[in-house]
Amino acid sequence: MKEIQQQQHHHKLLILYATQTGNALDAAERLAREAERRACPINLLSLHQYEPNLLPQEEAVVFVVSTTGQGDSPDSMKVFWRFLLQRSLSQHWLKGVHYTVFGLGDSGYQKYNFVAKKLDKRLKDLGGTTILERGLGDDQHPSGYEGTLDPWLSSLWRMLYTIKPEFLPNGPDVSIQDTALIDQPKVQITYHNIESHFSTASDTGSVRSMHPGKSSSDRSGHPDCFLKMVKNLPLTRPNCGKDVRHFEFELESHAIEYDTGDVLEILPGQDSAAVDAFIRRCNLDPDAFISVSPRGMDDCNGHGSRIPVKLKTYVELTMDVASASPRRYFFEVMSFFATAEHEKERLQYFSSPEGRDDLYQYNQKERRTVLEVLEDFPSVQMPLEWLIQLVPMLKTRAFSISSSQSVHPNQVHLTVSVVSWTTPYKRKKKGLCSSWLATLDPRNAVGIPAWFQKGSLPTASPSLPLILVGPGTGCAPFRGFIEERALQSKTISTAPIMFFFGCWNEDGDFLYKDLWLNHSQNNGVLSEANGGGFYVAFSRDQPEKVYVQHKMKEHSGRVWNLLADGAAVYIAGSSTKMPTDVTSAFEEIVSKENEVSKEDAVRWIRALERCGKYHIEAWS
């Protein structure tokens, strides 16, 4: 890696990206393609592959970074960011280095594009010179992040040409539209003549690591363990408008340990009929044995990931053919392989700046799948190499763990809402992983690949008072916290817990009703007698909507007493308005009960956050 990086400083545009879900990688690759079409040499790297101490030697750098959760940086950026924060770096450290930042975020979140903003400021503080004002892509834009990226890129080439004309020898606007840029995919496939090969779930890690590019969970190799489902229980009443399930799994390895607040990532199975339809549509042989490697590498290089595997198995475990929507570049490459003129024209229009909004309406807004798009353009026959490169990876899905391992040894529990929705054109859609889990029968053992990781909610010591706010499936991690605190309370003195839960109706979706009520009585860990409390908001059981923040304000005195006693706040649930509304409620309570101004109350909550006592885990 170092050897490569030391060769990159001769008029090369360095593109560094940090991605969590793949969008920042897509944007960075788009930037790289546009640079190459302008004869601009580039070096494209993930931030975790780059040696940050080389940054002062660069001439021009473009950062493409996403913001995750509540203003968090992607995992691949954490080491780089810690390096940039070193006090030993002077304000002239990046003198002579030209840079710009493009961020990907969602303005529905409170800390919109927070990572891009703080990176831009830090680079400027270290003496870097901006090529162009940072661009902030927004998932809420009618065309998604590309609504900002398109005009931002046009400005980037003009400004780069002004500052560094040697980077763009043909000028900022001369783009080479040549099939030579299309006909070399990044991967190569070797077909193997194998009489028999036994491919099972245990091959999952090897197959996943064969996939070019980023692993779905930034992990290559084998899963932490395989899970066996032992319970699949509905938590909601039929026809109440939602389907929430309680899943229990047994761990196939006794060596696995997890804490309350941790997250479980699952690699979902795909609908077999959809996989078969994709293979038929693409004229592929499901029984062929293939190995996949980056183009230009010897396939027999000894990597375990290059083992031959059945083509159908490869598709099932790595290629999301019937859930994720393809990216814009997919349509551009399709246009080169379309033989029907009207299809070619439509695909070229979709991949052009003029067709961007129409593509967004057709593709992302409707959540068209790869299979649906290919079926809409029957004349397109793409080689398998291109399909492997461009079909979105089958990604793991992350769920908050809703059990305490101390209470349920060798088990892990999840609380999952089975996702379904209707598109603008009235097409019914289902979430891949939640729907798949809901169909599993515990009597039929299926090995489910799983990975454990730390979540945003740290384990709390028994002596720490807690205020938990978790409407809907936001209650999931708190089931584990409360189970564990109840077990601890049998042998040691424990601090109180106050829990605010919310749902639609008492009869329809009051998740884990008996559990909460049981712990709120007889001096339980949620009882008011112990200084805690359990309060539930039924939003639709009366004419006026009642949410968790209303219940918090009703009990503001008790909330403030716990905060004054040093309580930590944990918030979990939907990422839309809930975290912001709940935070505002806490600020109002501090202002009222502590008799301080709203500004002082805001500062008080921010201080709570800085000292590690205010945590949010939100999902869309």
291 marked as part of a ligand binding site: no
26 marked as part of a ligand binding site: no
398 marked as part of a ligand binding site: yes
DSSP letter assigned to residue 526: T
Cα–Cα distance for residue pair 329/345, rounded to 1 Å: 15
Return the bridge partners of 412, or none.
249
Residues 6+ apart with CB under 8 A from 508: 236, 237, 240, 241, 242
585 marked as part of a ligand binding site: no
Instruction: Report CA torsion sign: 511, 514, 515, 516.
Output: positive
What amino acid occupies position 480? Answer: G
Residue 168, both tokens: 């763009």
Query: What is the spatial order of strands in the sheet that 397-400 belongs to?
Result: 397-400, 263-266, 448-453, 225-234, 244-251, 411-417
489 marked as part of a ligand binding site: no
Count the neighbouring beta carbons within 10 Å of the beta carbon of residue 68: 21
122 marked as part of a ligand binding site: no
529 marked as part of a ligand binding site: no
Cα–Cα distance for residue pair 609/582, rounded to 1 Å: 14
262 marked as part of a ligand binding site: no
6 marked as part of a ligand binding site: no
- Candidates 135, 131, 120; CA nearest to 162 is 131
Q: What is the DSSP code string of 98-132?
A: EEEEEEEE-TTSTTTTHHHHHHHHHHHHTT-EESS
Unique residue bearing structure tokens 């003009």: 158
Query: What is the SS3 assignment for 42-57?
Result: EEEEEHHHCCHHHHHH
328 marked as part of a ligand binding site: no
23 marked as part of a ligand binding site: yes
| Beta-carbon-side half-sphere exposure of residue 26 (alpha carbons within 13 Å) | 21
Residue 581, classed as helix, strand or coil, is helix
Cα–Cα distance for residue pair 273/312, rounded to 1 Å: 12
Angle between helices 578-593 and 556-564 in degrees, nearest 10: 80
Q: What is the dihedral of CA 76, 82, 83, 87, to 10 degrees?
A: 170
Cα–Cα distance for residue pair 188/183, rounded to 1 Å: 12
67 marked as part of a ligand binding site: yes
431 marked as part of a ligand binding site: yes
Cα–Cα distance for residue pair 313/297, rounded to 1 Å: 23
547 marked as part of a ligand binding site: yes
49 marked as part of a ligand binding site: no
508 marked as part of a ligand binding site: no
432 marked as part of a ligand binding site: yes
495 marked as part of a ligand binding site: no
367 marked as part of a ligand binding site: yes
581 marked as part of a ligand binding site: yes
425 marked as part of a ligand binding site: no
- Candidates 316, 237, 338, 314; CA nearest to 272 is 316
Cα–Cα distance for residue pair 106/145, rounded to 1 Å: 9
Q: Is 110 exposed, middle or buried (0-12, 13-18, 19+ CB in 10 A)?
A: middle
91 marked as part of a ligand binding site: no
177 marked as part of a ligand binding site: no
19 marked as part of a ligand binding site: yes
Return the bridge partners of 192, or none.
289
What residues form the annotated binding site for FMN? 19-24, 66-69, 139
Known binding-site residue numbers for FAD: 367, 397-400, 431-434, 619
User: Which residues line the annotated binding site?
Assistant: 19-24, 66-69, 139, 367, 397-400, 431-434, 473, 539-540, 545-549, 581, 619
Q: Please state the residue numbers annotated as binding site for NADP(+).
A: 473, 539-540, 545-549, 581
